[in-house]
Structure 1
């Protein structure tokens, strides 16, 4: 009987050790709380009353470099080196935020009578393609600046030709050297670039009249 008693004592000791071990395991880490930012759309101004041409613009989502395609907010502290804020994120991928902003402003301000975001049964007249080459807060200067660089082209879908093509950029000082300041500067930069594209398109379409 003594071997069975020793076995029971041994099993009890193992169980005690296991329970003690469980009590010292690290507690699960709480999820990281991120701050989220978006791009503010400039309020409507006089451009909202611009005369519209009876054409339809197809505006697909912009393309963007792979390393900038996620919601992480990029910054640069040294030339050629891209880093990301640890606890700050865009509310959506930058290309989608940019797309939403451009759709709202083109719909609101013309110069096209209609703007669609994807191919529809009704054929579009022109297609505006945009590629985001840079979308980053630059800390190599003081104060920091947010830099946006785009390549865009206007395609005439009826004649199947490139009608306009341009490489443009905007660099806006951040009101604070922080992700929040960078997001504010990014919104200003994107609205500025929209206005430059808008003016170019308006001049081009007026030349057809």
Structure 2
């Protein structure tokens, strides 16, 4: 009798483990939530007809909270939330840098835009600070808010040539991340047009 009891006790942990494993296979698995990914897609700008200088472009600062591919929204002042089922393909700075470089390359007086190193002959460095890239639900009308600062540095003279902060808001037609992404594309297009005017004036003053 004692032998049977001890044998049963020795097998008890194995039986419990088998029951637990079997129970896990019977439980329904949670369904993975599909994540939609959005990008900034703009038509390519018309190429410049004249040559010019090589411009160095660098992202120097990204505000906390938007240094991530997660799509941010704001329902209360000073508080960010993120969509669970929506992402940007890259963080906002990584998406803005190539479209800005393409727009600047089409700018008269700019032959090329580089993002790394300091090649020989580079006279100007353009610094980009991304301060806001958010679906803003705080006002009565939903909007997408883009805020960025640009600083044009004269490398030859080691001085700040010009600086400007831009703020562009675009109404969001509809609700949710897809509508916000469409508004973001429109906001970026307006921002690039303003940057082009700023760079034309800034580089003329820096010469």
Asked if the contact 2:57/2:115 (under 8 Å) is kept, the reply is yes
Q: For residue 37 of structure 1, what is the aligned residue in structure 2?
A: 38
Superposed CA RMSD in Å reads 2.4
- CA drift at 1:4: 2.0
Q: For residue 195 of structure 2, what is the aligned residue in structure 1?
A: 197
Q: Aligned to 2:78, which of 77, 80, 86?
A: 80
Asked if the contact 1:154/1:162 (under 8 Å) is kept, the reply is yes
Q: How does 1:44-193 map to 2 (within 5 A)?
A: 44=45, 48=46, 50-52=48-50, 54-193=52-191
Q: For residue 23 of structure 2, what is the aligned residue in structure 1?
A: 24
Cα separation, partners in 2 of 1:107 and 1:199, compared to 1, 3 Å: same
Q: 1:205, 1:53 → 2: CA distance?
A: 14
Asked if the contact 1:139/1:145 (under 8 Å) is kept, the reply is yes
TM-score, normalising length from structure 1?
A: 0.86
TM-score, normalising length from structure 2?
A: 0.86
- CA drift at 1:132: 1.2
SS of alignment partner, residue 58 of structure 2: coil
- CA drift at 1:208: 7.0
Cα separation, partners in 2 of 1:50 and 1:18, compared to 1, 3 Å: closer
The number of residue pairs the alignment matches comes to 205
- CA drift at 1:63: 2.0
Asked if the contact 1:127/1:154 (under 8 Å) is kept, the reply is yes
- CA drift at 1:29: 4.4
- CA drift at 1:192: 1.2
- CA drift at 1:120: 4.0
- CA drift at 1:169: 0.6
